[in-house]
Chain A
Amino acid sequence: MIYTNVETIPGKQIVEHFGIVQGSTVRAKHLGRDFMASLKNIVGGELKGYTELLQDSREEAMQRMGEQARQMGANAVVNVRFATSSVAQGAAELFVYGTAVRVE
């Protein structure tokens, strides 16, 4: 499965379009991480726990999108976009969407 965020896949030819595919995850961080983050809020700097958490969940969202594309018979997703929103207290939603295509 190839992902790009441009309309085409450079170096390859798109032969078929399948329409939009999407994947999303809503994740909450656990209490320990939240506590560490609130400590880190005093001194500032990178919140490694959150970075990892968001990265993991973004990967999972992409996997779900890839799975959806595979079911349609696609072998690539073009024009991928990411979006993040905090839906509830302490939970973040990671959303990925794109266009499933078949390339040669």
Chain B
Amino acid sequence: MEILLQHGDLVLFLTLLCLGYGAGSWAEKSHYASINKREKELAHLPVVTGRESYILGEVEQSELVTGSVVVSIDYFKRLLAILRNIFGGNVKSYESLVDRARREAILRMKEQAQAKGADLVINLRLETSAIGQSANQKRQVGSVEAIAYGTAVCLAKR
């Protein structure tokens, strides 16, 4: 007990690490499960990066749809990434972060398109930016924002 009190900051650090690892991997797992489920549900709505050549049939209406999300990394993975900086190589923990953000953004865009009754989304564009650096200046990427946008096209029903 005395040792614990003497090294208060170390205890705090380890607690944060465990909390980050536990809650972070749980959050990631459930997020991936929800992404996979919704991707299957929305698979019937095609999204292409191409332009008008993909439209088959008469167009009734077209409109811009967007989807965006901000996802943050957990404490444990951030430490892993800092350690990775020493040895170099793939930073797996950040790969999954941006992958989740992009897929979630595309899903939100598709949901919006479906709500508008679209049959197709053309000219999909993705953008990623790092924001929220104020949370802690030392760490460069704490959270990423992904935006997906495209033109939803409603075809004329026959």
Report A's interface with B, CB cutoff 8 A: 2-12, 34, 37-38, 40-47, 50-51, 54-55, 58, 80-86, 89-90, 92
Is B82 interfacial (CB-CB < 8 Å)? no
CB <8 Å contact, B63 and A2: yes
Is B33 interfacial (CB-CB < 8 Å)? no
Cβ contacts under 8 Å, A46 to chain B:
31, 69-72, 104
Which of A43, A44, A89 is most buried by chain B, counting CB atoms within 10 A of its CB?
A: A44
Which of B59, B125, B129, B130 is most buried by chain A, counting CB atoms within 10 A of its CB?
A: B129
CB <8 Å contact, B62 and A45: no
CB <8 Å contact, B136 and A38: yes
Which among B27, B74, B142, B149 is the interface contact of A82 at CB below 8 angstroms? B149
Closest A residue, CB atoms, query B100: A46
CB <8 Å contact, B145 and A54: yes
- Expressed in whole angstroms, the Cα–Cα distance for A21 and B89 within the complex equals 43
By secondary structure, the A interface counts as: mixed
In the A-B complex, the 6 residue pairs with the smallest Cβ-Cβ separation, listed nearest first, are: A44-B74, A11-B59, A3-B64, A43-B23, A90-B134, A50-B70
0/1 interface trace, chain B 51-78, chain A, CB 8 Å (1 if under): 1100100111111101011111111010
Kindly provide the distance from the CB of A2 to the nearest chain B CB, expressed in whole angstroms: 7
CB <8 Å contact, A43 and B74: yes
CB <8 Å contact, A11 and B61: yes
Which among A6, A54, A80, A83 is the interface contact of B52 at CB below 8 angstroms? A6
Kindly provide the distance from the CB of A96 to the nearest chain B CB, expressed in whole angstroms: 10
Which among A5, A11, A12 is the interface contact of B149 at CB below 8 angstroms? A5
CB contact under 8 A between A37 and B72, given known A5-B125, A10-B153, A82-B127: yes
Kindly provide the distance from the CB of B62 to the nearest chain A CB, expressed in whole angstroms: 5
